[in-house]
Amino acid sequence: MSRVLSLLASLAFAGAALAQSYPSRPVKVIVPWPPGQATDIAARVVAEKLQSALGQPFVIDNRPGAGGAIGSDVVAKSTADGYTLLAASAGPISIMPNLQKTPYDPLKDFAPVSLIALVPFVLVTNPSFPARDLKEFIANVRANPGKYSFSSSGTAASAYMVTALFNSMAQLDAQHVPYKGSGPAIADIIGGQITYTIETVAATVGHVKSGRLKAYGVSFSQRANAMPDVPTIAEAAPLPGYDIGAWIGYTAPAGTPREAVARLAAEMQKIAQAPEIKERYLSLGLDPISSTPDEMATFLRQQQERYGAIIKAQGIKIE
């Protein structure tokens, strides 16, 4: 018995020592997107703070391609020692594995560390659309099946998933017009060729403030920091249970020592509370958030199931 207790004590001591010594050299953060994309910017902001707090460089390594799958796979197959991290996001982790076979298992090949940002979406129309609020918008579109159109940045994109769920819950029949990117999808709403879309707050907030777009509701169950005067879709429609959007977080290869993961997560919780982070995220249309590794693991399972259900119900396939 004493031998077992001694072993447990030595393991606990080793874990505590690892937590204190980690990191002892530079940490690579792989971003599976090009520089300037939302995941890249959010990951860089957090990496800078981690570097200051932990005293080692957190080096961003952009590995774009295949909708984020290339960089994500690099991390999944990296040594699980805490020195390679992934700037994870909804596309390659929660959505793509429900649409096609990926070289990694999103729930088994990664060790969740912490969420760092939520990416809210907002339903927008041309200002000329004759509805004062979301209830009137739904009533108008519902009364005219097939008359109105909605745009998205592609059938497999987060924006389409978010809008498809809204249309289903609100019982709307509208024509889908996919575009190559959110820019042209929004431009044709401003121009009056398309009726509505649900796109990221980041991509629309400037147009809403300038009066080129009208906002009816945001996609999460809480209001977006960048649009505090816009109600949630769940409360404005009302559509209880409508609570969806994109996310950004940090993960590591599966098997990474829990002590290293816990230390990173603890620092990220502090970072999320920093006033300068909140201000920076506000300018980007993102909402800061943090989580424990276990909370993130639960969140990822829920997201996997949520998007999987939408894809199955809508019969969505990669174009």
Q: Where are the domains of the chain?
A: 25-119+245-314, 121-236
Record the tokens describing residue 60, joined without a space: 């961003």
What is the pLDDT at residue 14?
46
Residue 9 has what pLDDT? Answer: 46
Nearest to 233 by CA among 124, 119, 115: 124
How high is the pLDDT of residue 23?
98
Instruction: Provide CATH code, domain 25-119+245-314.
Output: 3.40.190.150
Fold matches, 25-119+245-314 and 121-236: yes
What is the rounded CA–CA span in Å between residue 293 and residue 273? 17
pLDDT in tens, 110-155: 999 999 999 999 999 999 999 999 999 999 999 999 999 999 988 8
Distance CA 232, CA 251 (A): 29
pLDDT at residue 12, as a whole number: 46
Q: Report residues of the chain scoring pLDDT below 50.
A: 4-5, 7-15
Q: Are strands 246-253 and 110-119 parallel, antiparallel or unpaired?
A: antiparallel
**How far is Cα 193 from Cα 198, in angstroms, rounded to an integer?**
16
Strands lying side by side in the sheet with 149-152 = 175-178, 149-152, 196-200, 121-125, 214-218
> What is the pLDDT, as a whole number, of residue 7?
47
What CATH code is assigned to 121-236?
Answer: 3.40.190.10
